[in-house]
Structure 1
Amino acid sequence: MHNLRHLKYITEAARLGSITEASRRLRVSQPAISAAIRSFEDEFNIRLFVRNPSQGLALTPPGRNFVTRARELLGNAQDFENLFNETDDDQLTGRLEISCYAAPAPLLLPDLIKNFCNEYPDVEIGLQEGNMEQVANYLKEGAADLGLTYDLHPDSDIDHELITNLSPFVVVSSKNPLAKRNKISIKELKNEPLILMDSPGYSEYLFNYFSMYDLRPLIQHRSTTNEMVRGMVAMGNGYSISLVKIKNVYSYDGSSLVNVELEETPPSVNLVIASLKGFRRSKLADAFVQTCKTKLKKVATGTS
């Protein structure tokens, strides 16, 4: 007979991509997890996982839908249990899986997670990072409950909830003559070398910004990591354009950076919480979203 415990076995195996790792985390035998998977597959005549010896477990399309709904059911069950086990301090419990766009993650998440876990000490936070497309995929695959990202990767299966509006700005070396400016026109950058943060959604956003003024950026280097971009800029290799204001003005090698505002109105871009369309959020997820709205607006815009 199926029960919620068996659903937990399957969702953990999907999240971790491994029966062995799920067995270790849940402290149950591997055969028990395999039996739970097989039981649901037989019951509903579907295949939940593709088993690849080198890559571990991968969800099939029916498996992704199954795991998404299973996570929702488990969240509802946790809410139901909490409803009849409330104490005076009404502490939330459980595990919440968060996916985050990697570029702003080091600025946004560490303090946020620390504050959230201080407020709810019985909660465990799981974290996955990636580009904006990967954040959406984590949600669709059931590997994450919520995503923290920009609204630059539209996906018909994903809903966005606004945290704050963002405005792009230029980042240059402190030795660059542009560092002395309070503002700069994007038109003045057409012959300046751009160090591009090469990430799906973000690259297209910058190209669109330049094209609004009939310009094309002069790309000197491309990188998929924020710190490599900052390091290249700090050494005088060019400029970059960023959306969140990092308090640390230094790159890894100690060279300093300066932010310069842009004069032209940019295309709209927002920091958002992403969730699977039609997915009912748990009380735990709602609490995390509220914490994001309270804590992240000033952090992301550099006003705190």
Structure 2
Amino acid sequence: MPVSLRSMRYFVTAIAHGNISRAAADLNVAASAVAAAIDQIEARFQLKLVNRHRARGIEPTASGKVFTQKFKHLLEEYDALLFEGTELKQSLKGDLRIGYYAPVAPAFLPEILSGLAGQDGQTTYHLEECDNDRAQAGLLAGDFDAILFVSDVARPQVEFDVLIEAPAYCLVPADHPIARQASVRLRHLAGEPLIVLNRPVAADYYRMLFDEAGHSPAALAYANSTEMVRSLVGAGHGCAVLNMLPGTDISYAGHRLAAVPITDPLPRLSLSVGYGKSNQRRLVSQFARLCRDYFRDGPGHRHVVAG
């Protein structure tokens, strides 16, 4: 049978005291438990490890001295592991690995992370942009501590908190006639060339919106980054339907853009933070809380277009 850490601790304590009764008092256990631990270890290895003297107590044999040192080393490693594990769970230091499928995450993620600052440079962030499925797979595989993703297509095993539900809006150049309107309907976009955000989840979502409305404008371009979509729109190539806003109405190319609410009763996309909710490190739990606070009480609502 295997030797337990408890038996090792009893053995080492008995050798240190040179007396089973004193070891038992130190450990706050019965003397018979200490004696049984010594017997168990000797039986397991089929070696005599302790000499018992009625008057003088106990002393290790040559083999017993070797085992005592090895047991001490194992117990020290185990105690250090427990300490480090507790420290890791409670600490705001260490590595934080975040996967994100959120096209405008650069607009808000740095600000959220600033709430974790002030740790003397002892927190390192690993940020990976990925598609929605890769984000969830990475969380479940342990590649990420937390993810930002669209939870409308969440895997059953992924735990998450919804941060915000983002309605669709129409993006046009600032000098476009639609930009002067308070709102627009999908049917009004039927004659406009469409710039499509060609990312998993997003492309299917936008296609579904137009299919349900019965109006499918011709796609002029497909781009797999939000900023390319915005730059194409800003340059006058067409309009786009998106869900979240960055913190600026200027494209990379310097063109001014306008975001116009769409009044059709359309399904929204849910931006969520995914993380393991039980037995989680304090650093991860704090990040999730900062995400919730940012969108519930902070400036997060500036990233959606209200109808």
Aligned match of 1:272 = 272
Aligned match of 1:109 = 109
Aligned match of 1:187 = 187
Distance across 2 between alignment mates of 1:156 and 1:120: 38
Name structure 2 gaps, 5 residues minimum: 1-80
2:95 touches 2:123 (CA, 8 Å); kept in 1? Answer: yes
Aligned match of 1:3 = none
SS in 2 for 1:247: coil
1:258 aligns with 2:219: no
2:102 touches 2:148 (CA, 8 Å); kept in 1? Answer: no
Aligned match of 1:291 = 290
TM-score normalised by length of structure 1: 0.66
Distance across 2 between alignment mates of 1:76 and 1:188: 63
* Deviates further, 264-273 or 134-143: 134-143
CA shift for structure 1 position 268: 3.1
Aligned match of 1:99 = 99
2:161 touches 2:272 (CA, 8 Å); kept in 1? Answer: yes
Aligned match of 2:161 = 161
Name structure 1 gaps, 5 residues minimum: 1-74
CA shift for structure 1 position 102: 4.8
SS in 2 for 1:183: coil
Distance across 2 between alignment mates of 1:120 and 1:181: 49
CA shift for structure 1 position 296: 3.4
Aligned match of 2:151 = 151
2:92 touches 2:119 (CA, 8 Å); kept in 1? Answer: no
Among 81, 87, 90, the alignment partner of 1:81 is: 87
Specify whether residues 197 and 117 from structure 1 end up closer, same or farther in structure 2 by C-alpha distance, changes over 3 A only.
Answer: same
Superposed CA offset, 1:169-218 (max 9, x none): 11100121111111001111122111000011111111222222223242
Aligned sequence identity (%) = 21
Distance across 1 between alignment mates of 2:87 and 2:280: 15
TM-score normalised by length of structure 2: 0.65
Alignment of 1:99-138 (within 5 A): 99-118=99-118, 122-138=122-138
* Deviates further, 175-184 or 136-145: 136-145
Aligned match of 1:235 = 235
SS in 2 for 1:184: coil
Structure 2 letter corresponding to 1:129: E
Q: CA RMSD in A?
A: 2.6
How many residues align? The count is 223
Superposed CA offset, 1:225-270 (max 9, x none): 1111011000111111222222211111211101101111221321
Specify whether residues 221 and 299 from structure 1 end up closer, same or farther in structure 2 by C-alpha distance, changes over 3 A only.
Answer: farther
Distance across 2 between alignment mates of 1:76 and 1:213: 59
Distance across 2 between alignment mates of 1:129 and 1:139: 13
Superposed CA offset, 1:112-144 (max 9, x none): 112322378643222111121221232133210
Structure 1 letter corresponding to 2:144: A
1:101 touches 1:132 (CA, 8 Å); kept in 2? Answer: yes
Specify whether residues 217 and 79 from structure 1 end up closer, same or farther in structure 2 by C-alpha distance, changes over 3 A only.
Answer: farther
1:117 touches 1:124 (CA, 8 Å); kept in 2? Answer: no
2:220 touches 2:238 (CA, 8 Å); kept in 1? Answer: yes
